[in-house]
Structure 1
């Protein structure tokens, strides 16, 4: 492990700021473009499926390759692939107006490349940071992600409105190039595989699954994450639709909501980095779910004149999010050996992503028939119940461990 691990993370996160910023600009601009041109929740859910499904399907199998391959090189190649297809879609928009089918296809290919990048990055973190600093690093990561996304929607809608979606996509290419350049300055030592491990794909996959299920605490939270994702993940796609359909406001108001949510995430990430060792990781996770659930419930009942209230609720929701994501990933990074971590992280990510399309498939027809607030309200109920589920299961786990 590197002696100057903080310097290594400063370099990595500097590059990621540019990459995540431009990716945030693209994601919001595409969603807003589809919202503005179609005004259909079904179209938005299909776009969401195109972005989630490839990662979910490929995830369990990608982990085997991640534990074989150089993780730094994997991140560079994956980010370069995302940039290439952004360039391709940008050229299409520059020359004309691509069909919805072509947009969905590009989103699917970008999603497939992301399926390699995100787990490779998470699996590389324990190779750079001390074990007792993983929750703190997770807080930093949430801050970097939030800092980039806080101005991404506003900047994206500004560039989109002033020029075109194609220009936004070209900027995404530049962001990926900067991130890859920063990675070249960092050394990430690849963990040596277990010598007893059979050098066959199915055997390695089986070993990853066996390692995953041995840690009951991670299994419990992963099950809870799947339940939570079905209800909560569609909101990422439905936030602009909420602004447009319920509050009857335009793109700049939608970008304000996204920006305020991200400001909340910055503050939440900062608080997590400062208070990382104050409570147990599970305490942070349950507190996060309760706050997010209550803000969703409130968003589901406020009137269309209460846009300011919705902005405040979005801020609180964003501030709570890092206290779920950060501790959960830190728990996983502590629980498994680095040589097995790629498989476990990609498996856990796939569970969450497979749950997300289910939520999107349910959300589209329900929102079109009953309104977007109905989904906000019931997603809040499910999120609060998920926190209760985790509390009960961990109390039982502690009792069983004490009695044994």
Structure 2
């Protein structure tokens, strides 16, 4: 992107506004569907099916989506995926209003929404460098992280409030409206010229193979992805098992579980604002490494917290470190990966993110029934801390 383009601020403002609106509607529906399934079935099996429907399509389609994002207009890819999700949600709303309230319809919509997310996420990360000068990428990615974190805080409360006074159909229709508004805003977005890659006649499988070959040829990018996967697996106890720890060690009151979720979200908003204003160290990997080490320390803090208040403070601090860990990695990939490969590389990131946390839960979830969650947090926290220190001092992570 040519930094002489003085119009980039208005264009990225339009883009982030569109994403905020559509993300809010999507988050409302995501919570509403999960709660509806929980309240109407009270079935662990049904919740497991819902979780699978939310993860598997993303993983499968992301491989192909990366190729599509690199070959076609990225703005149109985002619009098409938004439109596909909105159409599925509208059909579901109509069927529910007509009285066809079968839970399996929700699973079908979750599958479609997951597939749309698998296309949308790499397209968003690949589009941002087209709009933003390189020297502003950290701040803009920090803004985007702040927006997504803010949705984590606001959406559960808003979704619960709407469901308390109206049916689930009202939230489904809100999502359709927000998607429509977001698409209309995106249609006004003017992208700088982007030269589509040659060899468009190659098959999708050949495009995927090119992506893997690119990773093999770029050791630093490969190490970044490996670090991301390792940290996400190790962080899974902090991500998923802390409600279990809170109920066992501090009390099973609902306000404690709510406070646990909200403090992390508030911390993530603060972290996004911090990385936006600060921009991180000059060496981007040092920012990620320090955030990683602090994340590990705070995981240990969660495990040894003698009081619930101390636990909440550590939870806020963990939330702050998350954007400071993720944003520099995103910016490094946007800077160092060739624009013609952005889609494929970010699709690999999406696949890694979608696989790592479930893999971590497969490993640590059963252990939580035989080992105290606090012990798991301390053990994995030490590992994360060691990874952060190693990353900071290792020459293998010099970009």
TM (normalized to structure 2)? Answer: 0.85
Q: Which residue of 1 aligns with 2:52?
A: 49
Residue aligning to 1:344: 345
Aligned residues: 394
Supply the RMSD in Å over aligned alpha carbons: 3.2
Q: In the TM superposition, what is the alpha-carbon distance from 1:50 to its structure 2 partner? A: 2.0
Q: Distance in 2 between matches of 1:379 and 1:140?
A: 30
Paired with 1:294 and 1:353, the residues of 2 have a C-alpha distance of 25
Flag the 1:110–1:361 CA change in 2: closer, same or farther, 3 A. farther
Give the direction of change, closer, same or farther, for the CA distance of 1:379–1:215 in structure 2 (3 Å limit). Answer: farther
Distance 1:393 1:364 in 2: 27
8 Å contact from structure 2 (residues 225, 352) kept in 1: yes
Aligned to 2:253: 249
Shift in CA distance, 195/57, structure 1 to aligned 2, threshold 3 Å: closer
Distance 1:24 1:111, change over 3 A: same
Q: Is the 8 A contact 1:139 1:322 kept in 2?
A: yes
What are the superposed Cα offsets for residues 191-241 of structure 1, whole Å, 9 maximum, x if unpaired? Answer: 323447873333332222222233322211211221222343576566666
User: 2:105, 2:10 → 1: CA distance?
Assistant: 41
**Are residue 186 (structure 1) and residue 184 (structure 2) matched?**
no
Query: 1 CA distance for matches of 2:91 and 2:301?
Result: 41
Find the counterpart in structure 2 of residue 74 from structure 1. Answer: 77
Q: Which stretch shows the higher mean deviation, 239-248 or 353-362?
A: 239-248
Per the TM alignment, residue 64 of structure 1 is displaced from its structure 2 partner at its CA by: 1.0
Change (3 A) 1:46 1:321: farther
C-alpha distance in 2, partners of 1:114/1:397? Answer: 35
Note if contact 2:71-2:200 (Cα within 8 Å) is conserved in structure 1. no
CA gap of 1:89–1:386, structure 2 versus 1, over 3 A, is: farther
Greater Cα offset, 252-261 or 166-175: 252-261
Candidates 374, 379, 382, aligned match of 1:381: 379
CA contact (8 A) 2:302 2:377 kept: no
How far apart, in 1, do the equivalents of 2:292 and 2:40 lie? 34
Q: Distance in 2 between matches of 1:312 and 1:228?
A: 21
Cα distance in 2 for residues equivalent to 1:33 and 1:216: 45
Contact 1:72 1:183 in 2 (8 A): yes
3-state SS, counterpart of residue 321 of structure 1 = helix
Calculate the TM-score normalised by the size of structure 1. Answer: 0.84
- Structure 1's unaligned 5+ residue stretches are none
1:387 Cα deviation after fit = 4.7
2:33 and 2:58 mapped to 1: Cα distance? 19
| TM-aligned CA distance change 1:154 to 1:57, over 3 Å | same
CA contact (8 A) 2:32 2:159 kept: yes
CA distance in 1, matches of 2:238, 2:46: 14
CA contact (8 A) 1:191 1:339 kept: no
C-alpha change, 1:185 and 1:337, in structure 2 (3 Å) is: same
1:120-131 counterparts in 2 under 5 A?
120-131=123-134
How has the CA–CA distance of structure 1 residues 218 and 165 changed in structure 2, closer, same or farther, with 3 Å as cutoff?
A: same
Tell me how far 1:130 sits from its aligned partner.
0.8
CA distance in 2, matches of 1:73, 1:231: 36
